[in-house]
């Protein structure tokens, strides 16, 4: 039996985000899942158009590149939303700033984006919430 004393833990545990921050981070993770789903769905016609371009109609390559470009943009947004959700969840200042920037952009995407962006900006600009990220 080991009788060595357990060394005391050093440092303080990482602060836990409050429920509002968890909700906003969760929203970003859910939106990322939708963008990932869109990317996967768009991958199928991209592949089919590529096969069609090689085998039958070279003009299908135009469609393949167009749909593939939309799929790539969707994947970029997926990665962006995941990164911002992680930054909020771990109370990183860059996550708060990025979420506010994305919230400002989403104000123009009526009606859901306007509501989500407005609530995100309102909550993250509160002084007591901003202090949690320092």
* Percentage, residues of the chain above pLDDT 70: 89
- For residue 53, the number of C-alpha atoms closer than 13 Å in the C-beta half-sphere is 14
Taking residues 80-87, what's their average pLDDT?
97
Q: How far apart are CA 124 and CA 84, in angstroms?
A: 13
3-state helix, strand, coil in the chain (%, to 5): 75, 0, 25
Token couple for 102: 């994305």
Q: Tens digit of pLDDT for each residue in 12-67? A: 666 677 899 999 999 999 999 999 999 999 999 999 999 999 898 888 899 999 99
For the whole model, what pTM was predicted? 0.82
Q: Which band of pLDDT confidence, cut at 50, 70 and 90, is reported for residue 1?
A: low
pLDDT at 66: 96
Q: How far apart are CA 33 and CA 29, in angstroms?
A: 6
Q: How far apart are CA 15 and CA 45, in angstroms?
A: 45
């Amino acid at each position: 039996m080991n009788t060595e004393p357990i060394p005391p833990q050093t440092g303080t545990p990482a602060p836990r985000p409050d429920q509002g921050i968890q909700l906003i981070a969760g929203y970003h993770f859910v939106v990322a899942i939708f963008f990932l789903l869109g990317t996967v769905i768009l991958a199928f016609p991209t592949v089919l158009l590529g096969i069609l371009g090689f085998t039958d109609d070279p003009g299908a390559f135009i469609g393949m590149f167009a749909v593939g470009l939309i799929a790539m943009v969707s994947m970029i947004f997926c990665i962006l939303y995941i990164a911002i959700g992680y930054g909020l969840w771990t109370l990183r200042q860059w996550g708060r700033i990025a979420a506010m920037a994305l919230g400002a952009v989403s104000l123009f995407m009526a009606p859901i984006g306007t509501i989500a962006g407005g609530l995100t900006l309102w909550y993250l600009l509160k002084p007591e919430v901003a202090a949690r990220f320092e």
